């Protein structure tokens, strides 16, 4: 027996009506004619909504004390001061707060509002590539609850179709929950290439919500809202594992160093209809080898380290988590044979 989930748009962006047996045409005909759902389906709907509401409330209770309003002010041109506002969250027990770099770049005065009190803030560092900043407070609250970042970066992220819950401070108001779905992944959008693969969500982002933490249904961190797509009623999320790398580097070095491998790639179709990634350009002035073997134009990249390479974004994601001075081991296929090549990564200058 096959079931189908019927979605309808009511006051919420979407909700489950219930599982209908599509092998029984009468059920679909009844819905098409506007008939009332059977009691069993109504009970299923009520049970689903109550369970979802309970989960969202429980997550809200666990994570709301991590979220702060990030406030700033700057002088206008021959006019009054303008107020800036965003969202942030405590990211470790030391009180470091992750937020958007936009507000800390523009603000002449910076502070945080948390549970009705104001705290003067200082900038630890920022990354203009991902628009992420870390700030800290001159005096910390006696009690706060940090969000746990993944301990080490890894290459997985929340899959498409999963429910996520955001807690943000829209237009400078108190933190409030929003919920939606992960709807896609992008490393390129409208001609812009991101530093790593971003998640896309149907949670719209309004003023003051940049820097909002987004959580998975189990309460773990999904990532941070960083850019709005109003024409698509969507936003981009930097995944949690990427935030670990960004936050660690900013706390350690005040900025995020990026690496360059000294080569470019492009994807192409294989004779069997698959896809492969080949070397399309080599910068002989920048590339540095850590062995005797060298890259050649047209080499097919099969692996970097232990990870198989299926498309160009795989390489970008791997390099995102590397630092200048590290060595990567690349396996290429050349004339049907595997060749191992080691490259010393240089620093990427923007």
pLDDT of residue 155: 55
pLDDT at 156: 67
CATH topology classification for 259-347: Pdz3 Domain (2.30.42)
* HSE of 196, CA atoms in CB hemisphere, 13 A: 27
CA distance 25 to 32: 11
Q: Kindly list the domain boundaries of the chain, sorted by start residue.
A: 3-62, 63-256, 259-347
Q: Give, rounded to a whole angstrom, the gap between the first and last alpha carbons of the chain.
A: 56
Tokens of 27: 């059920």
- Closest by CA position to 322, among listed 334, 333, 307, 338: 307
pTM given for the model: 0.85
The per-residue pLDDT for 36 is 53
Per-residue pLDDT of the chain (350 residues), as tens digits, is 344 343 444 344 444 444 444 445 554 455 454 555 566 666 777 787 788 888 889 999 999 999 999 999 998 777 788 899 999 999 999 999 999 999 999 999 999 999 999 999 999 999 999 999 999 999 999 999 999 899 865 556 789 999 999 999 999 999 999 999 999 999 999 889 999 999 999 999 988 999 999 999 989 999 999 999 888 889 999 999 999 999 999 999 999 999 999 999 999 998 888 899 999 999 999 999 999 999 999 999 999 999 999 999 999 999 999 999 999 999 999 999 999 999 999 999 88
Task: Please give the structure tokens belonging to residue 160.
Answer: 């498409």
Q: What CATH number should be reported for the domain whose range is 63-256?
A: 2.40.10.120
DSSP for residue 209: -
Find residue 281's DSSP bridge partners: 264
Q: In angstroms, what is the C-alpha Rg of the chain? A: 24
pLDDT for the residue 42:
66
Q: Locate 117 and state its tokens.
A: 């009190």
């Amino acid at each position: 027996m096959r079931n189908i989930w019927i979605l309808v748009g009511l006051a919420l962006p979407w909700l489950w009506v219930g599982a209908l047996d599509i092998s029984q045409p009468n059920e679909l005909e009844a819905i098409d004619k506007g008939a009332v759902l059977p009691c069993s389906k109504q009970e299923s709907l009520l049970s689903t909504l109550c369970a979802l509401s309970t989960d969202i409330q429980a997550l809200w209770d666990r994570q709301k004390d991590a979220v702060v309003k990030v406030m700033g002010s700057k002088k206008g041109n021959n006019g009054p001061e303008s107020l800036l506002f965003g969202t942030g969250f405590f990211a470790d027990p030391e009180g470091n707060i992750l937020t958007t770099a936009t507000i800390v770049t523009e603000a002449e005065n910076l502070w945080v509002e948390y549970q009705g009190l104001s705290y003067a803030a200082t900038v630890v560092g920022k990354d203009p590539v991902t628009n992420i900043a870390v700030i800290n407070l001159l005096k910390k609250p006696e009690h706060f609850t940090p969000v746990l970042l993944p301990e080490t970066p890894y290459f997985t992220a929340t899959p498409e179709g999963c429910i996520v819950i955001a807690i943000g401070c829209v237009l400078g108001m108190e933190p409030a929950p929003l919920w939606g779905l992960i709807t896609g992944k992008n490393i390129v959008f409208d001609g812009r290439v991101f530093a790593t693969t971003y998640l896309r969500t149907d949670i719209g982002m309004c003023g003051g919500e940049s820097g909002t933490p987004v959580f998975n249904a189990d309460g773990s961190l999904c990532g941070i809202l960083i850019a709005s797509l109003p024409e698509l009623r969507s936003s981009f999320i930097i995944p949690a594992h990427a935030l670990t790398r960004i936050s660690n580097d900013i706390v350690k070095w005040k900025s995020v160093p990026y690496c360059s491998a000294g080569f470019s790639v492009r994807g192409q179709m294989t004779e069997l209809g698959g896809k492969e990634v080949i070397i399309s350009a080599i910068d002989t002035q920048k590339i540095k080898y850590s062995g005797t073997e060298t890259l050649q134009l047209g080499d097919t990249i099969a692996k970097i380290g232990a990870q198989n390479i299926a498309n160009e974004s795989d390489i970008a994601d791997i390099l995102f988590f590397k630092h200048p001075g590290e060595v990567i081991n690349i396996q290429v296929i050349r004339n049907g044979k595997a060749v191992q090549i080691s490259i010393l990564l240089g620093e990427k200058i923007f």
